Structures are given as structure tokens and as C-alpha cells.
Amino acid sequence: MDSVTHAPSTEVLRAIVEAAADGVVLCDADGSVVLVNGAAREMVPGDVTSLLDRTREPGETYETALGDRLLRVRREIFGIVHQAWYLRDVTKETARADALRAERERTQFLVEAGRRLSASLNTRRCARATAELATGLLADAAMVVLPPGGLRRTAWLRSSEAGLEEGDIPVAHADQVPGLAEALAGFPPVPSRWLDPHQAPEWLLPAGFGPVGHLLVTPLPGNGVPAGALVLARREGGAGFDDETETLVRVFAARAGAAISAAVLYQEQSATNAILAGDLRPPPLPTVDGLELAGSLRAAQQTALIGGDFYDVLPTSDGPLVTLGDVCGKGPRAAVLAGQVRHSLRALLLLERDPEQLMHLINKALLSSYTPRSHVTLVLAAIHPGDGMIDLAVAGHPAPLLLRADGVVDEVDARGTLLGAIKSGAITLRTATVELAPGDLLLLYSDGITEAFGGPTGREMYGSARLKTALATCAGMPATAVVERLEQLNSDWLAGGVFDDRALLAIRRSR
């Protein structure tokens, strides 16, 4: 069969072109238009040749805009002497792809916002993250205005191409920004199209920003009260805030407001806890003529820094009263009871100094307490600085240890009943008086030291025998060094394991 060497007839070409689903523009070898099918004429009612880019190679595809529509054009070899441009309207297809891409960007933005906003419980960091996140995708410049603080001023943080800036303004200046005062009060956001960007004051924008074309102000919802406001600005000539963007901003603002509100609440609670905990921690030990005092306190719940063990040195006209105790329980609840015991002792010292009588009074106070399980072990040591004599009363607590200057360790023969445990109020006490010679040391400690489990197996109790042996090696050391050594040996025994509250207090006669 002979090969075909001639072009098909015009009728055949027309039939082929009209049967095509795409728009087809058929040209001869010289580039002149030969045929335009119905689909192409419908897409391009006027001159179709303006769409034909003859610099394109056969098989190459390009896109060109025609009014509000987007056409995809592909150049191909058609038969022997013809070339064809295939046209397809991809306006809707491209719009769907753009919408999907925009939705993905919005989703990724909110995911990143959630990650960064949840990474901190610091108010300033949350406000900074909010402003930085909003810059770029949402606006050319973003400002977070926090609720008014003291002195009728309000702080702000601003992010833009110029970087991060912060400062404060008088509360009255919020009225200069359209919608800002309402946003700070928690009112719903005003649509961007209702705000006049030309009313924006100079302080709202970074230096050199240029004319503002679009402004959007939205509240940052908080936990019952507004967490501030977010101000977004776009330059003149740029795209405005459409409905989808404003919806995204409101969702973002809700997350940012929740994060800032949580940070504010956390900081307020932390400040309150710090004030309360400060009164529950042991005070600095006083300087007593002829004596060295040193103490150590470790709470089982390290995050709380306070617990049920406590010590204190209370001044009296006859000499200091040293106390070390352990209340039932752990953590803040136990620390509160320990603080109550310390404050009760301070009040009772106005009327009574004798350790034995103080024990009876504290026991009565605990029995009348509304706090359940108000049980306390306690050591009271009334010091006579002039002669080194110490009157001791022990209630349910490990007996103090006496380290002589020559390294001999004795246990003080003092015992007593746990305080706050017997409803009848009857307690038994056996008091003792010890004399500290120069170089001698009296050690008060809690059972968290002797009942620490650790060692090679991790399940062996430290015990009083090990404590006495360790104390014997501290002869001649200053009180501070003794406490530090005993604390370190006990910690090494624990080897990082779980431990109870631990307290040590050493009284050493220096001369």
C-alpha cells in the first residue's frame, strides 16, 4: 500500500477538528489560521490569534489569561502540513486547586500557631508569637495590644519587616485606632471594610511602613475576660481582608487569646504561690554569739520546693528556741500545716518559753484544728548561749544526736508522744538537758534522713547506725560543713531514687 503524501481535504479536517472536545485552532505551515472549531469560538469569541504563541515548541503547554478566565494552550503537530493549538478552559480547575492550596496553608498556619502558642506560659512570649505568626500570611504588620495595666497604660508588641518592637501607650490612645477600644473591651470584631485605615495613628505602624490600605482589629478572647486585641495592617495597593481571611483571623485570635489568658493566669498563680511559699520556707538562720547554726531542707516534691519538714530559730529574751519538725503528709498541704505550727510557736513564745509546756500547748492547738490528720513530730531546743546548756523536748520525733569534739556520738535520751494524735489531749514527754562544750555539736534531723531507701540494692534503709557513723567522721568540722556532708552522703545513698522530706539542723558551740 502506498503511503499517504498529501494533506486531507478541508471537509475531513473540519470533521476531525469539530469532533475534538477541546477548543482547536488549526493553522497551515505558514501559521495562517485554517479552521477554528466551535469549542474554541465559544471560549474565544474574538480574534483567536492573539492567544497563539508561535515561539512555543510542539508539545509545549502554556497558560494565558482571557479576561477573568484562564486558558491552557498546547501546541501540537497535526498531520503533515498543519499545526494545531488545543485550548482548554481551566478557570474552575485552577480555582479549585488554589482553594485547596489556600486551605492547606490555613491549616498549616493554625497547626504552627497551636504549636508555638502552647510552647510557653509566659505572657510576653505568647504575645510575641501571636504578632510574629500574624505577620506574613495575614498582614504586613501585626500588633498585639494587651489589656490595660497599672497607671492606666497598656503594653503592646508589634511585628513587621522591621523586626519586633514593643512599648506601651496611655489607655486613652486606644480610641485613636478604629475598633481597638471595643476589641480591648471584648466586643465582637468590626469587619475590615467598615474601618477607615486612614484614621490609623502614626504610633500604630513601624517607621517607613507607608500608607495603610487595609486595617483589621479583632479581640483576643480570654478566660472570661479579654486577653487583649490584635491589630493587622496591610499596605495600600495590596489585597484586602476577604471573608475567608477574616474567619481565619478570628479562629487564630481565639487560640492566641486562650494562650495569652492561660499565661496570665499561670503567672498570677505563680506570683501568689511564690508569696505564700516564701513564708513557708525556712528563714535565714541568725547569728548567735558563741554558736554556729546550719540547716538543710529538701522537699520530696522538688517542683513545690516546700513540704512537711521544717525548722526555725525563734528569738527570745533568754536565748534562741530552735525547732525542727515533721508534719503528716507531703507537698503544699503539709507545708501549710508546718507553717501553722511555726507561727503558733512564735505567738506562744510571747507567753511561754519552756519546751515541755510549749509541746502541750501545740498539741492542744493541733487537736482543735479543722485540718484532718494534723499530726506533728517535733523537737524543741531552748539554748542558753552563755553556758552552752540546751533544754530539749522531743514529741514523736527521732532523738537528737550529740557529737563530741573527740568524735564520740551519743543519742540524747529524750522521748515523747506524737502531737495532735491522741484525742484525749494527754501526751507523755521525757525532756533532757545537754551541755555543749567547745567543739561539740547537736544534730536535729527528720526521719526522712534515716528512712531513706537506697544503697546497692536500692531497697535498703539508711538507718540511724549509718547516720551516727557518718556524723562521727565530722568531728571538728564547722556546722555548715557537717550539714553539707551528711546531706551529700544521704543523697548518694538514695542515688536519685524517691525520697521523703528531709531536714537537718546543726548547733555547734564554737567557743
Q: Are residues 78 and 111 in the same domain?
A: no
Q: Does any domain span residue 452?
A: yes
Q: Does any domain span residue 5?
A: no
Give residue 78's domain range.
10-89
Q: Are residues 410 and 348 in the same domain?
A: yes
Q: Does any domain span residue 25?
A: yes
β-bridge partners, 314: 321
Among 148-162, 358-372, 456-470, 471-485, the range of highest mean pLDDT: 471-485
Report d(CA 454, CA 502) in Å as an integer. Answer: 15
Q: Are residues 386 and 424 in the same domain?
A: yes
pLDDT score at 496: 67
CB 215 within 8 A of CB 178: yes
Q: Are residues 318 and 436 in the same domain?
A: yes
For residue 486, is pLDDT > 60? yes
What cell numbers appear for 459 in the block?
531497697
- Host H or E run for residue 94: helix 91-117
Q: Does any domain span residue 380?
A: yes
Q: Quote the number of domains for the chain.
A: 3
Q: Are residues 425 and 389 in the same domain?
A: yes
Q: Does any domain span residue 22?
A: yes
Residue at 438: amino acid letter:
P
- What count of residues does the chain have? 511
Which pLDDT band holds residue 8 (cuts at 50, 70, 90)? Answer: low
| End position of a domain, from candidates 241, 273, 305 | 273
Q: Are residues 138 and 216 in the same domain?
A: yes
- E strand intervals along 209-365: 212-219, 229-235, 291-298, 309-314, 321-327
The domain that holds 224 is classified in CATH as 3.30.450.40
Looking up cell 477538528 gives: 17
Which pLDDT band holds residue 130 (cuts at 50, 70, 90)? Answer: very high
Q: Are residues 409 and 429 in the same domain?
A: yes
In terms of DSSP H, where are the helices of 320-415? 331-348, 355-367
Of residues 302 and 439, more confidently modeled:
439
The domain that holds 65 is classified in CATH as 3.30.450.20
Coil, strand or helix at 131: helix
Q: Are residues 74 and 109 in the same domain?
A: no
Report d(CA 216, CA 235) in Å as an integer. Answer: 12
CB 126 within 8 A of CB 260: yes
For residue 277, is pLDDT > 70? no
Q: What is the pLDDT of residues 239-275, one digit of tens each?
A: 999 998 999 999 999 999 999 999 988 888 887 767 6
pLDDT score at 338: 84
> Strand order in 441-445's β-sheet?
291-298, 502-509, 441-445, 401-403, 409-411
Q: Does any domain span residue 139?
A: yes
CB 215 within 8 A of CB 233: yes
Q: Of the candidates 137, 5, 157, which has an alpha carbon nearest to the alpha carbon of residue 79?
A: 5
Least confident span in 49-53, 140-144, 353-357, 441-445: 49-53
What cell numbers appear for 48 in the block?
483567536
Q: Does any domain span residue 4?
A: no
| End position of a domain, from candidates 89, 116, 131 | 89
Other residues' Cβ atoms within 10 Å of the Cβ of residue 271: 10
Q: Are residues 85 and 106 in the same domain?
A: no
For residue 303, is pLDDT > 50? no
Q: Are residues 260 and 355 in the same domain?
A: no
Q: What is the dihedral of CA 334, 337, 343, 345, to 10 degrees?
A: -100
- pLDDT above 90 coverage of the chain, percent: 50
| End position of a domain, from candidates 59, 89, 119 | 89
Phi, psi at 92, each rounded to 5°: -65, -40
pLDDT score at 477: 95
Q: What is the pLDDT of residues 341-381, one digit of tens each?
A: 888 999 999 889 999 999 999 999 898 877 777 889 999 99
The domain that holds 394 is classified in CATH as 3.60.40.10
For residue 392, is pLDDT > 90? yes
Q: Does any domain span residue 410?
A: yes
Report d(CA 477, CA 500) in Å as an integer. Answer: 27
pLDDT score at 301: 54
Report d(CA 46, CA 34) in Å as an integer. Answer: 16
For residue 3, is pLDDT > 60? no
CB 29 within 8 A of CB 49: no
Q: Are residues 111 and 78 in the same domain?
A: no
Round the average pLDDT of the chain to a whole number and report it. 88
What is the DSSP-derived secondary structure letter of residue 187?
A: P
Q: What is the pLDDT of residues 307-340, one digit of tens each?
A: 778 899 999 888 899 999 998 877 777 778 888 8
Q: Are residues 203 and 251 in the same domain?
A: yes
β-bridge partners, 216: 232
Plot region of 90 (φ>0 → left; ψ -120 to 50 → alpha; else → beta): alpha
